[in-house]
Amino acid sequence: MTMTSKLGVWLTALFAAGWAAAQSTPSCCSVPSRFGGVVAALATPPEGDAPAPAGMVWVPGGTFTMGGDDPLAREDEKPLHRVRVDGFWMDQTEVTNAQFRAFVEATGYKTLAERPVDWEELKKQAPPGAAKPPDEMLEPGSLVFTPPDHAVDLRDYSQWWTWTLGADWRHPEGPGSSIEGKDDHPVVHIAHEDALAYCKWAGRRLPTEAEWEFAARGGLEGKVNVWGDEPVDPKRANIWQGPFPHRAQVQDGFERTAPVKSFPPNGYGLYDMAGNVWEFTSDLYRTDAYARRAQALGPDGVADNPTGPKRSIDPRNPFAPVSYVQRGGSFLCNDVYCASYRPSARMAVPPDTGLSHSGFRTVLTPAMRTAQAAEHPGG
């Protein structure tokens, strides 16, 4: 499975207009609680009784088994291997529209979806010799989930993803849509560089893939889901119910994004670590990242705060020079198609790609907090 890239759907749309042949890369629930009394034992943060940063919770760190081997696990989740991470603070929820708006109002930042498409960058992902498209196709836009009214070939993600001019975080379904009344929904149509810009402003960073999975598991070891081994149901997470992608049964009450904290938290007090929107990590993606790591570690080794491979390789999206890992799944995930709401599930996405279900959350380490306090004594 692979996360759909902006280029893939965009070229498909152009093919419909007679411009270029579409790619046929398969995609996973993208274009491209829950916890029944389980509470993890929380270690004391380094500052002792100092309050956590606003909106964040302390994740104590420790050693865990990373990856998946359940029947739904894909090859890039294997093999299981031992990993240790230091403690950190993590946003209790995905970054919301209100939080992102505060950043934009303070800085004047424009997301990638709000800027014209840079053909010089985009053509790096195109097959050799691809011609420049019409200028009108290079206007600002993003990829919007547009469900068909009938069953379609699930190998053709262009059947439910549409390159939409004017779609961005303020207009998630395109021109005429808005986020009015959705301040507490996760911000979407966020590309990797947009998430990094927010992090820089907020004094945070994106989690590593290992940090994200450790946090998502909430203190549970070796479980299939973030709430344990029980199967997913509409009370546990915002995912897709019904035949995908043409008939949403909305049993959980949400056809698209849900307000953060709509479902119970995990053992660390983190919300929506399964479903709602995909979340960026800082790691580059390789299909064989775990296999290479496990081979280097040996049977008894433990990876210490791994930060991912030095370069990305995704054979399913061969023209993308770089792809990053996203985690957590989204409101489009379901067992029939991808089951990526599981804590071990991984997805690759190029850095230029924002979608209707792409968001993020941030982390803060004790070292970062100490450095900030030294830089700004007295607050």
> Looking at residue 42, what is its pLDDT?
42
Domain ranges in the chain are 6-375
> Looking at residue 239, what is its pLDDT?
97
With a cut of 50, list the residues of the chain below it in pLDDT.
1-3, 11-43
> Looking at residue 345, what is its pLDDT?
98
Fold classified for 6-375: paralog of FGE (formylglycine-generating enzyme) (3.90.1580)
Buried b (16+ CB within 10 A) or exposed e, 277-310: bbbbbbbbbbbebbeebbeebeeeeebeebebbe
Tell me the pTM: 0.89
- HEC string of 268-334 equals CCCCCCCECCEEEEEEECECCHHHHHHHHHCCCCEEECCCCCCCCECCCCCCCCCCEEEECCCCCCC
